[in-house]
Structure 1
Amino acid sequence: MVAPNLIGCFLIKRLSKNSYLTGVIVETEAYSQEEASCHGFTGRTPRNETLFGDPGNFYIYLSYGINNCVNIVTGKKNWANGVLLRSIAIKGENERIASGPGLLAKRFGLNRNFDNLTLSPANDFWLKEGDNLTRMGNIVQTTRIGISQAKDIPWRWYLKSSRSVSKRVKGDRIPSKNKCWTPPTLEEL
């Protein structure tokens, strides 16, 4: 499964020739055509066409007419699979600035105009393997949130030691500032 493997990876946006916005993915959710909460569950439509497309592309949709949600298409072509990027930690910025799908999309300037964009340096958005997970700490696996169907499937993952997680499982306290994991910059890798 791709979703837990994205924890610790960098999402990179080129701002100019030598300037980048980078953040570490700290929370993800997986969706697949065989379960009812996936946009591809009832088949292909003009709205979800991208989700059936090439792995490695953005699938961006508008949630409740308000927030853009950024997914990465995974799996194989003609089968709806995707990973929702729920939260990203950005060094030197407020720990909650990209904590949740809508805030993440807003901070990275992603909207429906970027739907079906291939993640690649040539397109100014790409992923890069990040920090060693053993230094980052435990990954929590739990059920997805904010959905009404298939909500008991444990396909959400988050970095326990990050203060940027959008919502923790009951009983999991936010780590104190002196005990939390701090995201590196790309240059620090």
Structure 2
Amino acid sequence: MAPELVGCLIFKRQQDDKVLWGVIVETEAYSQIEEGCHGYKRRSKSNESLFGEPGILYTYLTYGIHHCVNVVTGQKELANGVLLRSLAIPNEDERIASGPGLLAKRLSLNLSHDSLPLSIENGIWITCKPSNLLKAHLVSTTRIGISKAKDLKWRWYLHSSRSVSKRSQGDRQPSISQAWIPSTSDLL
């Protein structure tokens, strides 16, 4: 699911009832079969939602200060999730949600959203990729910021986005004129 989520739109209803949206431009996959996953060794109160129904959020606090958000995937009772690493948000600084902590902060997501099903009724939802991104070039590379199973190429990002948190070695950031930038036409 991780590469499938790149290019999809995520929407979040804010406290003022306005809807903030962005394009998911970077993801990482995690599965209980590998040591980088929070559910690898055991199920606990803090990672319980990672074992839940596909389509719910698994949120956690990293380094005691940054919230991170995963979409639970796979099947119930098996720990599988996709970490949302970066968003491109129209009409905002290209780096405002570039990294999992910044993404959660910009969308105002925290531990209170853990186990929340993605739905319009719950105020956070994901829709399919816009047609202009259906065949976009994705880069597959190793995950970032983990010490175990770090060689797995389970991170994907939209090559043409300047909002990616960290590009793979040798992959140069596109110039502003060559970069894909989200706009309201992506909603159509």
TM-score normalised by the chain length of structure 2: 0.95
Question: Partner letter of residue 122 of structure 2?
Answer: N
1:18 deviates by 6.6
Q: What is aligned with 1:179?
A: 178
Q: Distance in 2 between matches of 1:133 and 1:142?
A: 23
Q: Distance in 2 between matches of 1:176 and 1:135?
A: 22
Mean CA deviation greater in 13-22 or 95-104: 13-22
Q: Is the 8 A contact 1:60 1:71 kept in 2?
A: yes
Instruction: Identify unmatched segments of 5+ residues in structure 2.
Output: none
Q: Is the 8 A contact 1:51 1:81 kept in 2?
A: yes
Q: Distance in 2 between matches of 1:183 and 1:158?
A: 15
Count of residues in Structure 1 that have an aligned counterpart in Structure 2 = 188
Q: Is the 8 A contact 2:140 2:153 kept in 1?
A: yes
TM-score normalised by the chain length of structure 1: 0.95
Q: Distance in 2 between matches of 1:28 and 1:82?
A: 10
1:131-179: CA deviations, max 9, x gaps?
2355773100011010000000110000010000000011111101011
Alignment partner of 1:152 is 2:154: no
Question: Partner letter of residue 24 of structure 1?
Answer: V
Q: Is the 8 A contact 1:59 1:73 kept in 2?
A: yes
Q: What is aligned with 1:24?
A: 23
Q: What is aligned with 1:75?
A: 74
1:74-133: CA deviations, max 9, x gaps?
000000000000000001000000000000000000000110000000100000112235
Q: Is the 8 A contact 2:140 2:157 kept in 1?
A: yes
Q: What is aligned with 1:141?
A: 140
Counterpart secondary structure, 1:12? strand
Q: Is the 8 A contact 1:8 1:133 kept in 2?
A: no
Q: Distance in 2 between matches of 1:37 and 1:160?
A: 24
Q: Distance in 1 between matches of 2:185 and 2:64?
A: 34
What is the identity percentage for the equivalent residue pairs of Structure 1 and Structure 2? 58
Q: What is aligned with 1:84?
A: 83
Q: Is the 8 A contact 1:8 1:132 kept in 2?
A: no
